[in-house]
């Protein structure tokens, strides 16, 4: 903890020193913030704590069902969201815990989600949302792609994750069915 505090004490002021530069570069910070808030507003349906199950489909044809929790919290006056997902630990399966930050760039009109995994991996993934559905995809080497599609309907979050390779049928990796158990505050 002491190491964290020392690092924080050194890094935070350095980052804060750059904030005015970014603010000067934006033509109208208030308009930028309002545009980010507007873009994130339709995603308020995912805010909260969600619990349920995830079914993993393994390449050997077996499947594994285990508990899953997703927590989604709006931050910085609704300009971005913090997502935390974790799977129940079970014998024969890797632990899973991921932290993501979802943001929107008003200039490009694109959502971006950056994900951090405990094994040190960091991914930037494209995120899309419209008319009650959402999805993300992460490009992998060789043209492969991990694609997730989801929707919330009747208080139930359903998400499907597939692995795609050009010239092959998509392979289902995982399906999640979650119900809201908290409001995310």
- The total number of structural domains that make up the chain: 1
Q: Could you give the dihedral angle defined by the CA atoms of residues 90, 146, 121 and 83, in that order, rounded to the nearest 10 degrees?
A: -70
Query: Is residue 77 classed exposed, middle or buried when 0-12, 13-18 and 19+ CB atoms within 10 A define those classes?
Result: exposed
Distance CA 163, CA 110 (A): 23
pLDDT grade, residue 17 (50/70/90)? Answer: very low
Matching residue, tokens 């350095």? 14
With CA atoms as reference, report the closest residue to 51 among 71, 69, 29: 69
Helix (H) or strand (E) holding 130: strand 122-130
Mean pLDDT of the chain: 83
Q: What pLDDT is stored for residue 118 in this prediction? A: 76
Q: Which domain holds residue 139?
A: 2-182
Q: For residue 92, what pLDDT is reported?
A: 60
Give every CB contact of residue 18 below 8 A, 6+ residues apart in sequence. none
Residue 19 clears pLDDT 60, i.e. is over it: no
pLDDT 10s digits, 120-131:
888 888 898 876
- Going by pLDDT thresholds of 50, 70 and 90, the confidence category of residue 142 is confident
pLDDT at 18: 41
pTM of the model: 0.77
75 by DSSP, 3-state: which? Answer: strand
Of the two residues 87 and 20, the one the predictor is more confident about is 87
Q: Count CA atoms closer than 13 A to 168's CA, side-chain side.
A: 11
Alpha carbons 57 and 93: distance in angstroms, whole number: 12
Q: Which CATH number fits the domain that encloses residue 51?
A: 2.40.128.20
| Segment 116-120 mean pLDDT | 82
């Amino acid at each position: 903890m002491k190491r964290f505090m020392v690092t924080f004490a050194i890094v935070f002021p350095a980052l804060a020193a750059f904030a005015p530069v970014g603010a000067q570069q934006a033509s109208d910070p208030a308009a930028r913030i309002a545009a980010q808030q507007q873009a994130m507003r339709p995603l308020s349906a995912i805010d909260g704590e969600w619990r349920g199950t995830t079914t993993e489909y393994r390449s050997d044809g077996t499947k594994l069902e285990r508990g899953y929790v997703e927590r989604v919290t709006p931050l910085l006056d609704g300009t971005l969201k913090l997502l935390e997902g974790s799977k129940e630990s079970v014998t024969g399966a890797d632990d899973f815990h991921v932290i993501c930050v979802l943001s929107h760039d008003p200039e490009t009109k694109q959502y971006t989600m950056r994900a951090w995994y405990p094994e040190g991996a960091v991914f930037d993934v494209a995120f899309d949302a419209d008319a009650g559905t959402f999805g993300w995809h992460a490009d992998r080497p060789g043209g492969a792609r991990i694609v997730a599609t989801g929707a919330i309907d009747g208080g139930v979050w359903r998400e499907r994750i597939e692995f795609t390779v050009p010239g092959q049928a998509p392979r289902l990796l995982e399906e999640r069915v979650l119900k809201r158990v908290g409001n995310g505050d």
